[in-house]
Amino acid sequence: MTAPEFPTGTILGYPRIGRRRELKRAVEAFWAGRIDAAELGRTAAGLRAATRERLAELGLGRTDSAIPESFSYYDQVLDAAVAVGAVPARFERLLDEDGRLDLAGYFTVARGEGADAPLEMTKWFDSNYHYLVPEIGPETAFAAHADALVAQVREAREAGFVTRPVLVGPVTFLLLAKAADGAPEGFRPLDRLADLVPVYRTLLAELAAAGAEWVQLDEPGLVSESLDEPRERVLEAVAGAYDALGADDARPAIFVAAPYGDLAEALPVLAAAPVEAIGFDLVRGDVPAQLDPVTEEALAVKTLVAGVVDGHNIWRGDLAHAFARAEALRSVSGSVAVSTSTSLLHVPHDVDEETALDARLLSWLAFADQKVAQVAALARGLSEGRDAIAADLDAASAALADRASAPGVRVPAVRGRLAALDATAFTRAGYDDRVAAQEDLALPALPTTTIGSFPQTADIRRARARLVKGELTDAAYRELMREEIARVIRLQEDLGLDVLVHGEPERNDMVQYFAELLDGFAVTQHGWVQSYGSRCTRPSILWGDVSRPAPMTVEWSTYAQSLSEKPVKGMLTGPVTILAWSFVRDDQPLGDTARQVALALRDEIGDLEAAGIRVIQVDEPALRELLPLKRADQPAYLDWSVGSFRLATGGAAPATQVHTHLCYSEFGVVIDAIRELDADVTSIEAARSRMEVVGDLAASGFDHGVGPGVYDIHSPRVPSVDEVRSLLERAVDGVPAGRLWVNPDCGLKTRGYDETVASLANIVEATRSVREGV
């Protein structure tokens, strides 16, 4: 086919939650029954219209397919599942006679209802966005439902736009799916590719009929080696799927985007496929200088979309370098366009909304709107020549130079301290010596504890909001938090837990709390990004060398400890998690930044010890999340991530019991890293896998304390005493009772008090009965 020309500048996607989180509010109002589907639909259409106008204003073409239709009510993977008719059997009751879901039904699949569990949620590549996992079985009856996408194309047309619909591509869709319950042993969702591709053909044909000239199929699955399918099978799937999709005449031109990494061996395969444009993530990946002749020839007649503007981070970056990289691709193909490396879903809307941030810091930043403007400038440079955008390039370079030399970015005292470290800083006394030194904690067999947070009640959140607004003095706020801590300590004493926590009421968020107290971080006012569904987070900006001006948690922990004879755990967030849930400087290796954070935590641990705290937990729920997608990059990551945890905890005395907490149960390649953390006690999620993880850990040679979660805190369900007892009996088979701890899967902050008290009472009772038998 002769393809319409691809726009010179585009983005892979734009935040959909709204500049003021309008979509979040409307969706939650719909869930609460305060607005109906029609009103929610109007809000969404209004947001889409505003987005198109804004993107055109910022320099993307109105009628050349430069503007992506990347809206979603909840999640783009769920949207793809709905578009191909892959709704799990338990939700079939929600479909109308044409097999369609209405809005209420769509949200039910996302959130579950009664006994019908929602789709599982998991991390989207190496980002902090979570998608819903499609469930595919041999029986899944695929059928095309293009209505939502078609409606957006039409809606745009009516407003005078020709936009580009975006859909998760068929290979990535199946790679991200899991086998439906009841699927035979050995069944893989990718087995269904041949049945799925015709449905995509129908979707594309319907989009073309509605007036779409280009369609974007997102295939980040091609850059990842972490999805459990052999690489050769993935490449075969790509070849097969795109040969078939490309064969149709009645289709829009196809743009395959491969964000989050390097295409590597997938590049020749994609080059050989009958698609018209390929998107490269040139922030994470590359187009090799030496291509094989067949690939070179194939690429010469395609549009190469150079993802040179980082969609994953908030820095203004090196625009001149970005331009040079895009221009370099012109030696491969005469048709080159610029784009963001990934969807802008991962960054907040607009730097201009931040009125409280330091002006100098602001000048180094680019949020979504600034990145769109950068793309537009680079595109102009491609068409009109470098001189046309010299001023833009120079301004970005000047900001970069200013950032490199600004006070706080490189602090000699911090750097000197890191440079002076030797191996001993990363190593504690041997485990057996520590166990002996900790004996006076006098813990029973199977000690009971919790992961740290207790329910964040409306009162707590109201108090914090009033503090921020200035309606409450700092002293009054602190007094309220102390009262809360006293209540939580009393409750745990009454329940009979063995190692107590202060409950973390003073923390708005387990990362932001520390970011606000450390030097080198800044906190935004409106920098929200979607985490999943209507949930948003406001990552802090780690811009400079990190140090700790004053103790951060000592006051709360010592107050809590003063109220009980039992040990109260000090509670810190680990360096990897602090990095993972912040926007992190890109001007030095992540490992260097992590070690700076580690030193600050190390000092905090020293102060906690000096204040008499005997048990200290350093949470690393994000250890797995930052794992690089490429196997070759994983050892270096595990090295610095484990190293930073060990640096944070390496100064703890043998008598101090160091705990860590990890939030998942499928460890895969990080299982060895968990052993290497060398924590005295590791609590992990385990209830959903029925304690399987205990055996996996033992098999990997892990022989320290372990607290496999005995109930899932993600739902209000109260586990029965019998249920917990049977899980503990399973665990005791795999771990000597002296090393086994009893705790929930994760923190309790999102739970209510009723179910929390009932659940904890049951786990204490179950533990007592199991203790008698050991």
Residue 734 contacts ligand GLN per CB under 6 A: no
Is 504 annotated in some ligand binding site? yes
The DSSP code sequence of 648-669 is HHTTS-TTSEEEEEE--S--GG
Residue 569 contacts ligand GLN per CB under 6 A: no
Q: Which partner in Zn ion, ligand GLN, none is near 273 (CB below 5 to 8 A by kind)?
A: none
Residue 746 contacts ligand GLN per CB under 6 A: yes
| 572/770 with CB nearer Zn ion | 572
Closest distance to Zn ion from the beta carbon of 457 (Å): 20
User: Strands 529-532, 535-537: parallel, antiparallel or unpaired by DSSP?
Assistant: antiparallel
Residue 268 contacts Zn ion per CB under 5 A: no
Is 452 annotated in some ligand binding site? yes
Residue 130 contacts ligand GLN per CB under 6 A: no
Is 619 annotated in some ligand binding site? yes
| CB within 8 Å of 84: residues ≥ 6 apart | 142, 143, 144, 145, 173, 196, 199, 200, 203
> Residues 623-662 vs ligand GLN: string with x where CB under 6 A?
--------------------------------------x-
Q: Which partner in Zn ion, ligand GLN, none is near 452 (CB below 5 to 8 A by kind)?
A: ligand GLN
Residue 749 contacts ligand GLN per CB under 6 A: yes
Residue 266 contacts Zn ion per CB under 5 A: no
Find the helix or strand (DSSP H, E) in which 279 lies. strand 277-281
Is 661 annotated in some ligand binding site? yes
| 452/575 with CB nearer ligand GLN | 452
Cα 675 from Cα 703, distance rounded (Å): 8
Q: Which partner in ligand GLN, Zn ion, none is near 571 (CB below 5 to 8 A by kind)?
A: ligand GLN
Among 452, 505, 520, 533, binds ligand GLN (CB under 6 A): 452
Among 8, 10, 453, 596, binds ligand GLN (CB under 6 A): 453
Question: Looking at 411-563, which runs of residues are DSSP E strands?
Answer: 519-522, 529-532, 535-537, 540-547
| 224/531 with CB nearer ligand GLN | 531
Q: Which 8-state DSSP code applies to residue 743?
A: B
Stretch that binds ligand GLN, among 109-117, 138-146, 304-312, 451-459 (CB under 6 A): 451-459
Residue of 327, 328, 338, 336 whose CA lies nearest to 372: 338
| 337/578 with CB nearer Zn ion | 578
Exposure string (b/e) for 531-552, b if CB count within 10 Å is 16 or more?
Answer: bbbbebbbbbbbbbbbbbeebb
Residue of 132, 144, 152 whose CA lies nearest to 75: 132
Residue ranges in 586-645 that form contacts with Zn ion under rule CB under 5 A: 621
Which three-class secondary structure state does DSSP give residue 214?
Answer: strand
| 66/497 with CB nearer Zn ion | 497
The encoded tokens of residue 540 equal 């802090």
Which three-class secondary structure state does DSSP give residue 260?
Answer: coil
| 130/661 with CB nearer ligand GLN | 661
Among 321, 526, 659, 714, the one annotated catalytic: 714
Q: Return phi, psi of residue 487, to 5°.
A: -65, -45
Cα 652 from Cα 383, distance rounded (Å): 60
Cα 270 from Cα 298, distance rounded (Å): 9
Cα 388 from Cα 273, distance rounded (Å): 35
Residue 687 contacts Zn ion per CB under 5 A: no
Is 21 annotated in some ligand binding site? yes
Residue ranges in 136-195 that form contacts with ligand GLN under rule CB under 6 A: none
Stretch that binds ligand GLN, among 115-123, 276-284, 348-356, 445-453 (CB under 6 A): 445-453
Cα 106 from Cα 100, distance rounded (Å): 9
> Residues 510-529 vs ligand GLN: string with x where CB under 6 A?
x-------------------
Closest distance to Zn ion from the beta carbon of 450 (Å): 11
Give how many residues touch Zn ion by CB under 5 A. 3
Residue 747 contacts ligand GLN per CB under 6 A: yes
Q: Specify the residue for token string 């969404």.
A: 44
Closest distance to ligand GLN from the beta carbon of 619 (Å): 5
**For 416, how many CA atoms within 13 A lie in the half-sphere containing its CB?**
3
| 233/714 with CB nearer ligand GLN | 714
Among 299, 663, 673, 710, binds Zn ion (CB under 5 A): 663
| CB within 8 Å of 703: residues ≥ 6 apart | 431, 739
Q: How far apart are the first and last CA of the chain?
A: 73
Residue 746 contacts Zn ion per CB under 5 A: yes
Give how many residues touch ligand GLN by CB under 6 A. 13
Is 663 annotated in some ligand binding site? yes
The DSSP code sequence of 677-730 is H--SEEEE--TTTTTHHHHHHHHTT--SEEEEBSS-TTS-PPPPHHHHHHHHHH
3-state secondary structure 618-647: EECCCCCCCCCCCHHHHHHHHHHHHHHHHH
Is 307 annotated in some ligand binding site? no
Find the helix or strand (DSSP H, E) in which 468 lies. helix 458-469
Closest distance to Zn ion from the beta carbon of 243 (Å): 44
> Residues 456-495 vs ligand GLN: string with x where CB under 6 A?
----------------------------------------
The encoded tokens of residue 88 equal 């799990």
| CB within 8 Å of 181: residues ≥ 6 apart | 135, 137
Is 69 annotated in some ligand binding site? no
Cα 727 from Cα 446, distance rounded (Å): 13
| 84/622 with CB nearer ligand GLN | 622
Residue 674 contacts ligand GLN per CB under 6 A: no
Is 659 an active-site residue?
no
Which three-class secondary structure state does DSSP give residue 165?
Answer: strand
The annotation places the binding site at 21-24, 123, 128, 451-453, 504, 535-536, 581, 619, 625, 661, 663, 685, 746
The annotation places the binding site for Zn(2+) at 661, 663, 685, 746
**Where do contacts with Zn ion occur on this chain (CB under 5 A)?**
621, 663, 746
The annotation places the binding site for L-homocysteine at 451-453, 504, 619
**Where do contacts with ligand GLN occur on this chain (CB under 6 A)?**
451-453, 504, 510, 571, 619, 621, 661, 663, 746-747, 749
- Which residues are catalytic, by number? 714
